[in-house]
């Protein structure tokens, strides 16, 4: 087996997958809702990096197109969840 740039990319993708697992542990442990959102945000960023790495490994540019869309959609999701947490608290105080 030759040790060239594509093998290094594969090792990087494996390491990033490990990072996703560590972040998911925080997503399950909590303890508060914002903690879980932070973990989710971290997972999203790492997934975008992982997709770009895989695009270079498989030499399929479509992966990067999907990574861009994923980055923007996950940003929308993060903003929406943050707003949702704020609004839920206000409703509880009003009742």
Partner 1 sequence: MDGWTIAMIVLLAISIFFILLGTIGLHRFPDVYTRLHAATKTTTFGSIFLIAAVIVYGAFRLTEVSGDNAGSFMHLIGMSIIALLALLFTNPTGAHAIARAARRTGVEPEQAVIDDYREVK
Of the candidates 91, 50, 86, 92, which has an alpha carbon nearest to the alpha carbon of residue 70? Answer: 50
Rg (CA), the chain: 17
Q: Under the criterion CB under 8 A, does residue 26 sit at the interface with partner 1?
A: yes
Task: By CB under 8 A, tell whether 25 contacts partner 1.
Answer: yes
Helices (H), the chain: 5-29, 33-58, 62-94
> Which residue ranges make up the site for partner 1 (CB under 8 A)?
3-6, 8-9, 11-12, 15-16, 18-20, 22-23, 25-26, 32-35, 37-39, 41-42, 45-46, 48-49, 52-53, 55-56, 59, 61, 64-65, 67-68, 71-72, 74-75, 78-79, 82-83, 85-86, 88-89
């Amino acid at each position: 087996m030759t040790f060239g740039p594509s093998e290094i990319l594969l090792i990087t993708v494996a390491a990033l997958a490990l990072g996703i697992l560590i972040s998911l542990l925080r997503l399950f442990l909590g303890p508060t809702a914002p903690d879980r959102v932070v973990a989710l945000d971290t997972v999203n960023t790492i997934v975008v990096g992982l997709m770009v790495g895989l695009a270079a490994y498989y030499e399929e540019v479509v992966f990067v197109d999907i990574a861009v869309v994923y980055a923007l959609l996950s940003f929308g999701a993060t903003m929406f969840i943050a707003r949702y947490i704020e609004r839920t608290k206000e409703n509880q105080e009003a009742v």
